[in-house]
Structure 1
């Protein structure tokens, strides 16, 4: 994340640059590429646009020409009068650059007891849910001899021939998996979902 910042006094500018540098992270590099005192001018806008940088003003204004250039270049100028709000803005922007962590949440497992061939649908695995639950909106992994052989999405979940949203442990059900027909008796279907977790600096 690159930053261009102007403020009303040298002391404020130095304090802002120092605090921006204090929020450095191993995950995201934050760099002040230009800082100064006075109004934000056309060259500040040009530099921020060319560098895809944040353009920040603290207790100062923007020249008429710079406003026109910023509008033309679609360059946003953020104005602040409280330092910690400016620092928080930079930190939040940097956090938004981080890719979310992907977490897999185990939901349950079903053992295949029978395999049914259904016209126009394909194979349906007749199962008993041995642990946890099976959710129709979840992802599914087919295990054979404890080794994964296919990862996909549940396309059909039936209980007593009726579509069901969720089936819990100890209950028999029929499971269809999108783009997979090679079920065998003794396979297991492991059910899970994916959660994206926002990272912080």
Structure 2
């Protein structure tokens, strides 16, 4: 009796663990889904997300495959390498492993052999009961695969009031910060009479004799520009940084 009770308790615990894993697989949190899907995109496959679909009926399998394929753009694509009816099998796991694919189950679960093989091979299985939830997760994965947009943001602007020629240092522009902030780590652009004449890095940034990390609007400073000495009074020094902005599939479709 003790052995039977122990065995029963162990089976209950194992079943709970399995249900917990399956529930975790069904979670639709955007960040988690993105990490899970992108982790399955093998090096060398370019920007293509390969998927195996298993469903309880042929109609839903076709509908899900069509919905996912419609997410493709010229930059990132969904490739359905297999669609079928029935429980997720060990052969599905081997196919996904060989091709670096994710398995999507719709109203189906993996059988015991498939579950064991998936854990052993590191194949990700995502289980769904609603098509749009699967579509949303795949959309998030594809958007994570898009190359981010490089966007330039001007963070400050200074006007040159005086020019100092310093031996062994070079030319220092005595400036007043008119807008925003001049940051030592950011790049700058020299503008003269509305024309951009140079772009480069800040070699030095000082307040009086002190090296500083940044100078804010309304304060004076001395700016040395790396490899550039042709600064003139009334030049404008723009300080900017480049940001990476995440793109959506709508952005990618518009660009193509």
Task: With the length of structure 1 as denominator, give the TM-score of the two structures.
Answer: 0.80
Aligned to 2:17: none
- RMSD of aligned residue pairs (Cα, Å): 2.7
2:163 corresponding residue in structure 1? 114
**Residue 99 in 1 paired to residue 143 in 2?**
no
- Distance, in Å, in 1 between the alignment partners of 2:172 and 2:69 is 57
Return the match for 2:214 from 161, 165, 174: 165
Alignment of 1:74-153 (within 5 A): 74-112=122-160, 113-115=162-164, 117=166, 122-123=169-170, 125-129=172-176, 131-136=178-183, 137-142=185-190, 146=195, 148-152=197-201
The residue aligned with 1:184 is 230
Match of 2:243 in 1: 195
Checking the alignment, whether the CA contact within 8 Å between 2:205 and 2:214 is kept in structure 1 is yes
State how far apart, in whole Å, the 2-side matches of 1:19 and 1:133 are.
47
Alignment length (residue pairs):
195
Separation in 2, partners of 1:191, 1:73: 50
- Give 1:188 deviation, angstroms: 5.0
Q: Which residue of 1 aligns with 2:90?
A: 42
Structure 1, unaligned runs of 5 or more: none
Contact 2:171 2:231 in 1 (8 A): no
Structure 2: gaps of 5 or more residues: 1-48, 250-256
Query: Are the counterparts in 2 of residues 115 and 183 from structure 1 also a CA contact under 8 Å?
Result: no
* Mean CA deviation greater in 186-195 or 55-64: 186-195
SS in 1 for 2:179: strand
Q: Does 1:69 pair with 2:94?
A: no
- Contact 2:189/2:238 (CA < 8 Å) preserved in 1? yes
Superposition TM-score, scaled by structure 2 size: 0.65
User: Contact between 1:110 and 1:127, CA under 8 Å: does it hold in 2?
Assistant: no
RCO higher in structure (CA 8 A, sep ≥6): 1
Task: Give the drift of 1:68.
Answer: 2.4
Q: How far has the Cα of 1:98 moved from its partner?
A: 0.1
1:12 counterpart = 2:49: no
Q: Deviation digits for residues 62-81 of structure 1, max 9, x if unmatched?
A: 12222222222222111112
| SS of residue paired to 1:106 | strand
Instruction: Please identify which structure carries the higher helix content.
Output: 2
